[in-house]
Amino acid sequence: MFKICKAKDGQPTAPGQVKIKKKSRVPGVMITQYVEVLPNGMTTPDFTRKPIALTIQEGKMAFFRAIVTGNPTPTVTWVRNNGEIDDRYKSVFDTISGEHQLQMPNVCADQADTYKCYARNEFGKALVTVTLNVIEIGYKKSKAMKESRTAIRELPEDFKKNLRST
């Protein structure tokens, strides 16, 4: 159930710190424990509800939801694979449901990406990845629709002449 790994050269660890890979009860969650033995009553972070992949139409509200556990209470952060989480995003914690949310109002095609949710405390971290797919509203199609609505219509007399000549 536990796997002890040495830290890679690029990943410094504190003296006496180890990296133990643990298995979560929730599939797709990766847990890393930083100490060999957890103090009594303390736990590594884990997800009891992980965010789910989302496919949404451009312009709609998108959000990922996660519920984490751990003692001491983990801090939750969200990261994008190919970009930054800027002011278009809002990270929210709902105290009533215990839910962490990453909200994306008026989602754009450039926000389609793989996102990572980290839950960290002093004894370890839990990580889950989730994908956001954005369905673009066709620019060419909407432009053609606008042009057809605003185009000058043929006069009924011209239409009748075209019918007679055929």
Please say if the pLDDT value at position 9 is more than 60: no
Query: CA quadruple 90, 91, 92, 98: dihedral positive or negative?
Result: positive
Check residue 156 and give its pLDDT. Answer: 60
Expressed as residue numbers, the domain containing 29 is 3-165
Over residues 107-153, the pLDDT tens digits come to 999 999 999 999 999 999 999 999 999 998 875 455 555 555 555 55
**The overall pTM is greater than 0.75:** no
SS3 label, residue 132: strand
SS3 label, residue 70: strand
Amino acid at 20: I
CA atoms within 13 A on the CB side of 135: 6
Domain count, the chain: 1
Instruction: Enumerate residues 6+ apart whose C-beta is below 8 A from 155.
Output: none
Phi and psi angles of residue 158, each rounded to the nearest 5 degrees, phi first? -65, -40
Check residue 144 and give its pLDDT. Answer: 52
Over residues 91-112, the pLDDT tens digits come to 999 999 999 999 999 999 999 9
